[in-house]
Amino acid sequence: MVIAVASTRAAQPAPGIRVFHVRETVGIRRTEYPVSVTIPLPKGALSDATHARIMTNSAEVPAQFTARTSFDDGSVETLDVDFNASLEPEEDRRYELQFGPSVTATLPQGRGLSAQDQPDAVVVGNLTFSRRGAPLLTSANYRGEGIGTGSNGLTVTDSMGKRHDLSSAQNARLEIVKPGPLLVALHYTATVPIDDTYGVSVDMLLEMPNSKTWLKTTATVVDRSRKQIGRAHV
């Protein structure tokens, strides 16, 4: 006599769902346009960013997931979702984030970007960023042609009209926030001395999507005395 014992697997809990919409507002067709969404989640709902996927019209959308902040138990508190959307003029499209232990995403296929961490620089595609910040972009090559040499980066002008660039920056740090493949994001922080006793903090977010040839730079300069800085530009 043979006795067969069937093993049973505990049913996986239903995935959590968050719905959001992406709308084209200018009236032009968008092709593979970069979209970034930040979604708050309840404590314990998502153990890590690998157990999430994006759906629209019952089809999965290639997406990149990054845990922006975490709870004290290690679960994801806020989740960054980066993907590319092709929309008709003024189209409003419904997307659904599914998350939980039973959810796995299909890895994005095709052309992607990656960040290569080097001792003195970070290389993203054809762009090389210096950890010193001056110049911030040390090279930009296109088909073998160097188009990014020379002085560049953030310049701060104080209330007396004196310019301060990142060549004098202290405690400069360049770190990879999002390594790709759909979006690479770098975070640069430093202190720029204004005089012998005072400096202002500089914070820059550098974003590069895989579907467009652009570099988006968001710069913040904090002058705690509220009297030194006249303007800042990149």
For the cut 60, the answer to whether the pLDDT of residue 216 exceeds it is: yes
Q: Quick one: pLDDT band at residue 229, thresholds 50, 70, 90? A: low
Least confident residue range of 46-55, 68-77, 138-147, 217-226: 138-147
Q: Quick one: pLDDT band at residue 163, thresholds 50, 70, 90? A: confident
Q: Torsion angle of alpha carbons 80, 82, 86, 89, nearest 10°?
A: 40
Question: What's the mean pLDDT in 5-30?
Answer: 78
Which residue did the predictor score with more confidence, 160 or 73?
73
Burial of residue 137 (CB within 10 Å: 0-12, 13-18, 19+) is middle
Which residue did the predictor score with more confidence, 80 or 222?
80
Tens of pLDDT, residue by residue over 27-63, are: 999 999 999 999 999 999 999 999 999 999 999 999 9
- pLDDT for 4 equals 35
- pLDDT for 139 equals 83
Tens of pLDDT, residue by residue over 168-193, are: 889 999 999 999 999 999 999 999 98
- pLDDT for 7 equals 38
Which residue did the predictor score with more confidence, 10 or 141?
141
Entry pTM: 0.85
What share of the chain in percent tops pLDDT 70? 88
Q: Quick one: pLDDT band at residue 160, thresholds 50, 70, 90? A: confident
> Rounded mean pLDDT of the chain?
87
What share of the chain in percent tops pLDDT 90? 62
- pLDDT for 222 equals 87
Question: What's the mean pLDDT in 160-175?
Answer: 89
